[in-house]
Each structure stands twice: as C-alpha cells, then as structure tokens.
Amino acid sequence: MLNQRNQSGFTLVELVIVIVILSVLTATALPRLFNLEEKATQAVLKGALTSMKSAARIGNVYARTEAADAQGDVTIDTKDIFMVNGYPVARPAGNGTTFIGLEALMEIDNEISIAYNANGTGTTTDNTRANAVDDVIILHSGTRCVSYQPPTTAGDDPIFSNGVLTYDTTANTCS
C-alpha cells in the first residue's frame, strides 16, 4: 500500500503568479492614490481662490453702493472692513482691532493655513493703514498656495494668483 499524504496548499508557480499580479496592481494603483492627494489639495485651494475673488467682489460692490465712512471702510454683516482702492485689504491689523480685511469675508477650510506678506512696505504686524495696500494674503496647504493683493492704485483690479502655485515657507511667498 502506498503511503498517500493528503496535502493541501499552493504550488510555487501559483504563488509566483499571485505575487506578480499583486506587484502589477500595486505599481499602477499607488501612483494614482498619491496623485489623488495632490488633486484634492489643488481642488481645496482652487475653491479658496474662488472664495477670495467672491469676497473681494462683494467688498467692492459694498464700497460702490453702500455708505462708506470717511476712510472708505464699509460695514458688511456687522464687520467693519477696511478698503484700499475700493477693495478689502489683504490682512487684519497686527493688533486685530484697528482694521480687518478680506479674511473676515471668507469661510476658510480647516485644511488651509493663512500667511501674510508685507510685500516690501511695513510689516504684517503694522497697525497703520498706510502700508496695508501692498500686503498679500496667502492661503496655503502644504507647499501649494493661492494669494490676493488689493489694487495698488485706484481704478485697478486686485491681484490674484494665477491658479494654484508653490508656497515658499522661507520667503513666505506664493509663486
């Protein structure tokens, strides 16, 4: 009588085939997953850019149609917004009470961080209005960003980033 063993399991060939199939699937699927994260970040920032444009337009419409105070400020939903050349400033005053700007008109996603750049005049902690015209608000997530700067002269349009750009944390710039 032959000694028969009841063996169960996979052969080496079957295991190699499964490993090859899993390797091919992994090689094609993982880059797509990583790309989804970048696409999600870009989508969030594109939404923030649209929100910045809308908030700036709302501020501009109020500046043209509602009663502004002697300094050109307008009140929108009980918020006193400081205006520069007909558009909201990019940042609040350093003390947070002297004036507020575009950020107060926006609802900003939790995934987005806010930075300000003085753009050559004053500092972002100034409590004076004189230097606010050159200030830039930067909304960023990781190394991606969008930005807004009010017009530097009357009659001009504000300056928005051209889509989603790269955020330089060292220079605090969006380019």
| Confidence band of 98 (pLDDT split at 50, 70, 90) | low
pLDDT at 94 over 70: no
Residue labelled with tokens 């028969």 = 4
pLDDT of amino acid 4:
62
Mean pLDDT of 122-138: 72
**CA count, 13 A, side-chain hemisphere, 173:** 5
Can you tell me the distance from the alpha carbon of 73 to that of 166, in angstroms, rounded to the nearest whole number?
32
Torsion of the alpha carbons at 97, 100, 104 and 105, rounded to the nearest 10: 150
Averaged pLDDT of the chain: 84
Q: Across residues 88-109, what is the average pLDDT?
A: 80
| Global pTM exceeds 0.85 | no
Query: Which pLDDT score is estimated for 8?
Result: 75
**What phi and psi, each to the nearest 5 degrees, are found at residue 33?**
-65, -45
Write a three-state SS string for 118-129.
Answer: CCCCCCCCCCCC
Q: Given this model, what pLDDT does residue 9 score?
A: 78
Q: Note the pLDDT of residue 128.
A: 66
Domain ranges of the chain: 37-174
For residue 96, the model assigns a pLDDT of 58
CA distance from start to end of the chain: 82
